[in-house]
Amino acid sequence: MEQQKCLCMPLLGDSFPELYVNTTHGPMNIPGDLKGSWFVLFSHPADFTPVCTTEFVGFQKRIADFDALGCKLIGMSIDQVFSHIKWVQWIKETLGVEITYPIVAGTETLAQKLGMLHPEKGSNTVRAVFVGDPEGKVRLVLYYPQEIGRNIDEVVRAVRALQVSDEQEGALPANWPNNELIKDHVIVPPAADLATAAERVKLYENFDWWFCHKPLKQ
């Protein structure tokens, strides 16, 4: 019986695996060089491919949004640095967009370490997104197939939502900050006993004791 390869990947709350990599900006230690900063590491199947090109332009077009969140961007694929450099030059010359974030020259070993190589999807990396916090912990993981490009606005929203959730000690609803029921409010953590459940409905806006919410602090 053929033994399947183990598909390993960092899980939510894990420390991000330490990676020593070469990039278009020189050698990097991820997450060591990013300590104290939020970061998004995103992989693409290959340089000089249409969907990946639209994604890289999309991330660059929103660089100000990520900067405002104190979040650094790092791209990656299993291509050599010289290929990344040529592709970045092509994007600037042809599309008029200068890619300012580093792109990692990935290896198969590195991609397997992050769960980016799926056996049924060939040798290219899937479209993975990892969001790490200032302590180097994995806070969000997204996986897209090769045939579907990512929604970059959702990545921006997710980073902002994670930061707000941490700062304001609560959960955030679907489609935050434009939820259909409570708009941009923060959901209060659930009560752990009867007394707290009774008190919650007096302190917060609510639909019931288990669904209390509070305005977003500015």
**What residues act catalytically?**
52
Query: Using CA atoms, how far apart are residues 214 and 185, in angstroms rounded to an integer?
Result: 5
Show the tokens assigned to 182: 């409570």
Query: Using CA atoms, how far apart are residues 11 and 141, in angstroms rounded to an integer?
Result: 8
**Which residue in 31, 55, 54 sits closest to 42, CA to CA?**
55
Q: CA end-to-end span of the chain, whole Å?
A: 59
Angle at 163 between CA 157 and CA 166, to 5 degrees: 135
Q: CB–CB of 200/211 below 8 Å?
A: no
Query: Using CA atoms, how far apart are residues 130 and 148, in angstroms rounded to an integer?
Result: 17
85: helix, strand or coil: helix
Helix (H), strand (E) at residue 42: strand 38-43
Helix (H), strand (E) at residue 74: strand 71-77
